[in-house]
């Protein structure tokens, strides 16, 4: 689902989104996603983890990472918490060098989201893991994003369905190992209730609202080709004018 055409100025978008992160809804969402990712990253190991795109005022989403090093790459006009400045679709990263990559709503703010997925595939090692956060179109959060002139959260270009992102990953040879839906708080509410924590965002069971977001976790599969040798019939050996029986004919 593509949102209406709008091109906010980079500085205006940066300021508006930063202000939204500091507000009650933004703070509640970042806290909930940090908790969600802490659980999702429990089995993600290795040397290098890369977050592509800024999300939050710092590097809260990587707090639960178990890799030796974590790096955030973000564009110049949107550098919150970034270690490296670079375009998400043209990462200044060596190919096949990252053990894990996180895309925190990055695809929804990009003019060409599939180009970012392809670029992430380039830098991710074989059997590396990719985590994608996205808003669900057919939810209260997705509908508010669709009908908001400035985008919701501010500056968001589109809402991508979970199925569409899965199709892109399968096309590139990934195995989607898990899918988690969350975000049950209203986008018109006041954020988390004091003392409640992330309950309204992450709670399981019966909920009055459909989930407003999803977390996809996928693994980059590398398939090696196995050479199949042609099967030749053993040629009979002639000795002194007699034919020596083969193993097939000697019984």
pLDDT digits (tens, 9 = 90+) for 160-214: 999 999 999 999 999 999 999 999 888 886 655 444 445 567 765 566 678 999 9
pLDDT in tens, 26-55: 998 999 999 999 999 999 999 999 999 999
* pLDDT of amino acid 18: 87
* Across 49-76, average pLDDT: 92
* Mean pLDDT along residues 55-74: 92
**What is the chain's mean pLDDT, rounded?**
83
* Per-residue confidence band for 15, with pLDDT thresholds at 50, 70 and 90: confident
State the residue for tokens 């043209």.
90
Q: Which residue has the higher pLDDT, 235 or 54?
A: 54
249 has a pLDDT exceeding 80: no
Strand partners, 158: 2
Strands 48-52 and 69-74, by their bridges, are: parallel
Please state which of the ranges 68-77, 130-139, 165-174, 236-245 shows the lowest mean pLDDT: 236-245
CA 5, 160, 104, 167 dihedral sign is negative
User: What pLDDT does 129 receive?
Assistant: 98
Domains of the chain: 10-244 (3.40.50.150)
Residue 69 scores a pLDDT above 60? yes
Q: Alpha-carbon torsion 9, 213, 38, 30, what sign? A: positive
Q: What is the mean pLDDT of residues 121-137?
A: 97
Question: Lowest-pLDDT range, 3-17, 31-45, 76-90, 105-119?
Answer: 3-17
> HSE of 93 in the Cβ direction (CA atoms, 13 Å)?
33
Which of 90-94, 140-144, 147-151 has the least mean pLDDT?
147-151
């Amino acid at each position: 689902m593509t949102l209406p055409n709008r091109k906010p100025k980079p500085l205006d978008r940066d300021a508006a989104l930063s202000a939204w992160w500091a507000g009650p809804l933004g703070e509640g969402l970042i806290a909930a996603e940090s908790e969600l990712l802490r659980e999702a990253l429990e089995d993600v190991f290795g040397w290098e983890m890369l977050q592509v795109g800024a999300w939050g005022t710092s590097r809260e989403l990587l707090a639960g990472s178990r890799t030796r090093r974590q790096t955030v790459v973000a564009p110049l006009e949107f550098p919150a918490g970034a270690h490296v400045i670079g375009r998400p679709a043209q990462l200044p990263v060596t190919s096949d060098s990252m053990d894990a990559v996180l895309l925190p709503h990055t695809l929804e703010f990009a003019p060409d989201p599939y180009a970012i997925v392809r670029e992430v595939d380039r830098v991710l090692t074989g059997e590396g893991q990719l985590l994608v956060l996205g808003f669900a179109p057919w939810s209260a959060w997705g509908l508010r994003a669709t009908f908001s002139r400035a985008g919701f959260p501010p500056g968001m270009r589109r809402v991508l369905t979970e199925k569409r992102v899965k199709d892109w990953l399968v096309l590139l040879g990934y195995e989607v190992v898990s899918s988690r839906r969350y975000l049950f708080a209203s986008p018109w509410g006041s954020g988390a209730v004091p003392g409640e924590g992330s309950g309204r965002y992450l709670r399981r069971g019966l909920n009055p609202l459909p989930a407003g977001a999803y977390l996809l976790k996928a693994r980059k599969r590398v398939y090696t080709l196995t050479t199949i040798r042609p099967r030749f019939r053993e040629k009979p050996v002639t000795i002194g004018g007699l034919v020596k029986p083969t193993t097939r004919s000697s019984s």
